[in-house]
Amino acid sequence: MPLIDRVVAGIPQPFRSIALRHSELIKFAIVGATTMVFDLAIFYSLSLTVLESKPVVAKIFSGVMATILSYILNREWSFKNRGGRERHHEALLFFTISGIGVILAAAPLWIANNVFDIREGQTTLTALIIIDFVLNYVIGNLLQMVFRFWALRRFAFPDENGRGIIATSLIEDEPDPDLDPDVDPDDEQTQFMGHS
């Protein structure tokens, strides 16, 4: 994304090096913000219309839809240099981790509605919107974001440079005859291995 590259290039040092060091986290946060807006639009469209009496169902549905979008964006952008798993295994882990994240995001809303009956006392639409926003998109999303970032890097996309990039360690593992005194450049075996 050239826009993000320009923004990062405009960050003064030493903050630019920090941003570059934590680029996966920044990309993950941008994807999270994008999918949050997507999730928000679906949730409120459903919870204020056909699923007005079932906000948790609306939240789970919107969370699943946002998760599908999140997989595409995270795989192709946030964690594009990670991998190490077969695609179907990676997808299964991603959706399992994200499913746990959807449950974590819905948990504050479920607790507020089923334990504390928070909706019962609210008569205005504005109060319901604010309560749902704080429970879903502040508390719930913070819980799920921390969990998902850790779990995706640990389980779904475990290996840095594991997908689509030639690992530089293959080149670095080859001895250089100019630097390594044990390698004879005239040796046939060394020439066979590509060291000449």
Residue-wise pLDDT tens digits, 171-191: 233 444 444 455 454 544 444
Q: CA dist 189 to 138, 151, 172, 183, Å?
A: 63, 45, 19, 10
Higher pLDDT, 20 or 139: 139
Q: Among 14-18, 22-26, 177-181, where is mean pLDDT lowest?
A: 177-181
25-50 pLDDT per residue, tens: 888 888 988 988 998 899 889 988 89
Number of H helices, E strands in the chain: 9, 2
Encoded tokens for 192: 């066979």
Predicted model pTM: 0.61
Encoded tokens for 86: 């077969």
Contact (Cβ atoms closer than 8 angstroms) between residue 65 and residue 98: no
**Alpha carbon distance 159, 81 (integer Å):** 8
